[in-house]
A and B are shown apart, each in its own frame.
Chain A
Amino acid sequence: MTNHKLNTGRRRFLKTGAATAMALSAPAILRAEGTGAIRVGMPTILSGVVSILGESSVAGAKLVFDEFNASGGLDGRKIELITRDSRAKPEEAAKAVRDLVNGDGCNIILDAEASSGSFAVQEVIKSIGALCLHTVSEATPLSADPALHAPTAFRSARQGIHDAIGGGAYAAAVAKEKGLKRWATCSPDYAYGRTTTAEFMEYAKYFNSDIEVIGQAWPKLFQPDYTEVITRILQWRPDALYSALWGGDLVSFIDQANLYALFDQTETFSVNLGDYPVLTAVEQLPNGMRSGSRYNKVVPNTPENNAFYDAYVAKFGTLPTNWSWENATAATFVIEALKDVGTDDPVKLAEAIRGRTIASPFGVDGTLTMRAEDHTLTGYAVGYGVTTAEEPFMKDFHTSSWEQILELEADWKKRQGFA
């Protein structure tokens, strides 16, 4: 009797244990299917010098997902956003994606990594086939180069060549009007800085053949002191300066260049100055500095964009960044695709996103399109304006023509061997 009880108890224990072990050892991807939450993974930079990139990326996506969940989700299934800190290391970003897909059951990845990380993530996506939207990287080849193409990967971020064409046309017009012939550049010494600068100057010269680049400075990323760079630029005596510096580096550069009155002596075009965190951090913003479009409440100045800004500030207590709208856009594409296909199957979702047009507060005409041919975003606000120290921080914004951008982009792709 006692032995029987013991045997029964042992068998029950073994059965329960085996069942638990099986449940725990089943791939997370299987557990996530069915009626559970739809898991969306986000590798991003949540610590260190550019942690604001990660925080505002998460916030942008969360704003959209929370609203979707509050309205009932996908037939009751909520979206769960799982984030991983890559610490700005490409190898960590690639590992995080594998963990998110294989360990956490994420079929959908919002890759909020800087360019170097995004290229690493793209390689992982090619091999594991999850749906991926690159939400931060602006490096043009990521989506333009057919050799890097992945059927389930898209870009919801700006693309460098779009800003270069729009910015180049604007700069050329200002240069003609003000007689700015001698140009210098000052951009961070890595892939983004070099390609963005080369593309901008290429199109500035395309639209105005009088423009001549007389000197180029390439400070290191996160360099604390720009004195030697600033004095070098002063020696060149340029009429105009283009810079692709961004974030804290741009704040330091402006603070230090102010001491030399650099901006009184040159017309400055700083593509990344228009981001709120930079504009609000610079205590003495020089008059008349021009910036490319990043995110601004009044660009485009529509009730929908104003509403996004207000909702973001109310929810997070901080101002949205360029990364915020790019991630909010990715989240919207994911939701629209989920509604269409009713499942988080990556291949079906990719099919639903390819060529899709969504209503968006960030579109020049109120819509954004994920171009089918190269999986990249079009229709967002591209252009330049003059920055101001007070809200709305931008005036005289000139919106670039997408017709012109698309025409010249096609030509550029041919020359690069991408089309």
Chain B
Amino acid sequence: MEPAALLDCLTSLSCVVTQTTSGLIIGMLFFLVAAGLTLIFGVLGIVNFAHGAFYMVGAYLAYSAYQVTGSYLVAVLAGGFGAAILGVLFERFAIRRVYGENVLLQLLVCYGFVLVADDLVQIIWGSEYLSMGMPQAFRLPPVFIAGGIVPPFYIFIITVAAVFAAVLWFIIERTQYGRIIRATAVNPTMVSALGIPTPLIYLSVFALGMFLAGMAGGLAAPIRALTPGMGFSVLIVSFVVTVIGGMGSVTGALVASILIGLVRSYGSIGFPLFVDGLMYVMMGLVLVLKPNGLLGRQEASRP
């Protein structure tokens, strides 16, 4: 423990700027991955253990698209839409068959997909580490704000994540489609009785979740090495975010992601050997004090 170092940091504006922005960066990257996971759990009741695999597929597709086009925008979209298309196939032919089934069966189906995806990635792209490299537009020196260091690429990532958080919130809370999603999460039988094709709703939500995972992989590709199995590393934190924020709450996921980011950022100063521990302590506290998570809803009926 280094509480003196943490105190020094908190009394230094440059340190506060650097650590706060790094906390936001860490948090927003977590959010982009966890948003899809929490959305799928909230509506479909599926603990999507394969979520990390879609993040990985998105990153690899983005890498290939970038190699071909040289456009980061095309790469990110390729990652998102590629993962979404794969998600549609996965939902249609596998996940749909285990809705409402025992959670262990759901985990088994997801784990099977993870193994297949890892092997396919290894066959297609090889086992060597791949790196997209920083797009030319972001090869800029870091910005100094009040003595703190902020990389321009991370300003972009924070902005994109914030825009996606706002768009997601708007879709879910303010549109007819969002109302149907929320209604389906609470009572799918009633929604179905109203003539709304719930299987299509499930499919679209799953595709949206996978789009978010794939897009997160594409966005992070310039700064994270691509390796088969890389999805697992983000999966655990995504589950922590989902639990803290509240299962099914996108806004909760955003709040939890930022909290975790800040805890990791400042924790690395004051408790460098206990950064992961702090995250899990926070999760434990939330589970004890608010078992449904910070912004979680009450348990709903499931498909």
Contacts and interface: CB of A to CB of B under 8 A. Distances in A.
Interface of A: 47-52, 54-55, 217-218, 220, 222-225, 227-232, 234-235, 247-249, 251-252, 255-256, 258-261, 277-278, 280-284, 318
Contacts of B273: 218
Interface in B213-250: 220, 222-230, 232-234
B130 A234 contact: no
Nearest to B15: A235
A284 B224 CA distance: 13
A281 B141 contact: no
A256 B233 CA distance: 17
Contact of B122 (A47, A281, A318): A47
B180 interface: no
B220 to A, nearest CB: 8
Contacts of B15: 235
B142 interface: yes
Nearest to A259: B151
A231 B265 contact: yes
Interface string B114-154: 00001100100011111111100001011000000101011
B223 A259 contact: yes
Contact of A228 (B118, B233, B265): B265
A258 B134 contact: yes
B264 interface: yes
Across the A-B interface, give the 4 residue pairs with the lowest CB-CB distance, nearest first.
A283-B133, A259-B151, A248-B225, A251-B225
A283 B119 CA distance: 25
B225 A249 contact: yes
A55 B127 contact: yes
B269 interface: yes
B9 interface: yes
B257 to A, nearest CB: 12
Given A47-B118, A281-B129, A229 B222 contact: no
A281 B227 CA distance: 11
A224 B224 contact: yes
B149 A231 contact: yes
Contact of B18 (A220, A235, A261): A235
20 contacts: A51-B127, A51-B228, A51-B229, A222-B233, A224-B220, A224-B224, A232-B268, A248-B227, A249-B225, A252-B224, A252-B225, A255-B223, A255-B224, A258-B134, A259-B142, A261-B141, A281-B129, A284-B133, A318-B126, A318-B128
Contacts of B229: 47-49, 51
Contacts of B9: 235
Which residue among A230, A234, A259 has the maximum number of chain B CB atoms within 10 Å of its CB?
A: A259
Nearest to B221: A255
Nearest to A261: B142
Contacts of A251: 129, 131, 225
A260 B268 contact: no
Contacts of A49: 227-230, 232-233
B12 to A, nearest CB: 9
B184 interface: no
Nearest to B132: A283
B139 A284 contact: yes
Contacts of A318: 126, 128
Interface stretch (B21-29, B36-44, B94-102, B171-179): B21-29
A252 B131 CA distance: 8
A277 B129 contact: yes
Nearest to A48: B229
A281 B225 CA distance: 8
B269 A48 contact: no
Nearest to A236: B5
A224 B234 contact: yes
A137 to B, nearest CB: 20
Contacts of B18: 231, 234-235
A191 to B, nearest CB: 16
B275 interface: yes
B252 interface: no
B139 to A, nearest CB: 7
B151 A260 contact: yes
A101 B130 CA distance: 36
A281 B228 contact: no
Contacts of A255: 131, 133-134, 222-225
A281 B130 contact: yes
A174 B149 CA distance: 28
B128 A277 contact: yes
B128 A52 contact: yes
A227 B24 CA distance: 10
A217 B275 CA distance: 11
A234 B122 CA distance: 36
Given A258-B134, A260-B149, A48 B272 contact: no
Contacts of B132: 283
Nearest to A228: B268
A52 B153 contact: no
Contact of A225 (B29, B133, B272): B29
A234 B232 CA distance: 29
Contacts of B58: none
Contacts of A224: 220, 224, 230, 233-234
Nearest to B151: A259
B223 A256 contact: yes
Nearest to A251: B225
A47 B119 contact: yes
A51 B229 CA distance: 9
A225 to B, nearest CB: 6
A253 B132 CA distance: 14
Q: Which of B128, B228, B273 has the most CB of A within 10 A?
A: B128
A230 B154 CA distance: 14
Given A48-B229, A259-B223, A227 B25 contact: yes
Contacts of A51: 122, 127, 227-229
Contacts of B48: none
